[in-house]
C-alpha cells in the first residue's frame, strides 16, 4: 500500500482459513520501503516474514496472497508459487475498482462529468437524502478521495 509520502508499506498477516467459521488475522510484520517496488522486493519481504515464524512445512501452509493488481505483485505471486505450491493469488477488489474507476475517468471525461452531475443532484434533493440517510451510516466529516 502506498502512503501520501510515496513510501510503500508491506503488511503480512496470518490467520487460519476455515470454511466453517471466521478467525481473526494477526499482523506479523510491517515494513516500509522507499525503493521502487518490484517483484523481488515483494518476494524477499514475504520470505523474510515467513522465516520469522519458523513454521514447520511453511511451503504447505502459505496458501493465500492478497495484493493490489500491479504487475510486480502478479509476477511475485507467480514466482512465489514455485516455492509454495498451494498458494493462491487474489487481487483485492477495492484496489481493482479504484484502478478501474481511475482509468475510466482518465479515458472518458464525459463519465466523470455525469458522476459529478448525479452526485450534485442526489446531494441537493432533500427527499432522496431523507430517504437514504436512515439506511446508510454517513461519515460525520467529509472524505476527500484523490485519484491520480
The mean pLDDT of the chain is: 76
The contacts found for 68-77 with CB under 8 angstroms, 24 or more apart, are 68/1, 68/92, 68/95, 68/96, 68/99, 69/95, 69/96, 69/99, 70/37, 72/37, 72/38, 72/39, 72/42, 73/39, 73/42, 75/39, 76/39, 76/40, 76/42, 76/43, 76/46
Q: What is the pLDDT of residue 78?
A: 92
Q: Is the pLDDT of residue 79 over 90?
A: yes
Q: Is the pLDDT of residue 92 over 70?
A: yes
Q: Which 3 state secondary structure label does DSSP give 15? A: coil
Place 135 in a pLDDT band, splitting at 50, 70 and 90. Answer: low
Q: Which of 9-13, 65-69, 84-88, 101-105 has the highest mean predicted lDDT (pLDDT)?
A: 84-88
Q: Is the pLDDT of residue 88 over 80?
A: yes
Separation CA 145–CA 80 (nearest Å): 33
Q: What is the pLDDT of residue 148?
A: 43
Tell me the whole-structure pTM to 2 decimals.
0.58
Q: What is the pLDDT of residue 107?
A: 85
Amino acid at each position: 500500500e502506498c502512503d501520501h509520502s510515496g513510501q510503500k508499506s508491506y503488511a503480512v498477516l496470518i490467520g487460519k482459513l476455515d470454511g466453517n467459521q471466521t478467525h481473526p488475522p494477526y499482523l506479523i510484520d510491517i515494513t516500509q520501503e522507499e525503493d521502487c517496488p518490484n517483484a523481488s522486493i515483494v518476494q524477499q519481504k514475504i520470505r523474510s516474514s515467513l522465516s520469522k515464524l519458523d513454521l514447520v512445512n511453511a511451503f504447505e501452509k502459505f496458501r493465500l496472497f492478497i495484493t493490489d493488481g500491479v504487475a510486480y505483485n502478479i509476477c511475485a505471486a507467480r514466482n512465489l508459487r514455485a516455492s509454495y505450491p498451494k498458494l493462491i493469488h487474489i487481487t483485492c477488489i477495492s484496489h481493482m475498482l479504484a484502478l478501474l474507476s481511475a482509468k475510466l475517468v482518465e479515458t472518458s471525461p464525459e463519465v466523470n462529468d455525469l458522476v459529478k452531475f448525479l452526485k450534485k443532484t442526489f446531494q441537493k434533493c432533500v427527499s432522496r437524502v431523507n430517504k437514504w440517510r436512515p439506511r446508510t451510516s454517513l461519515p460525520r466529516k467529509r472524505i476527500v478521495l484523490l485519484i491520480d
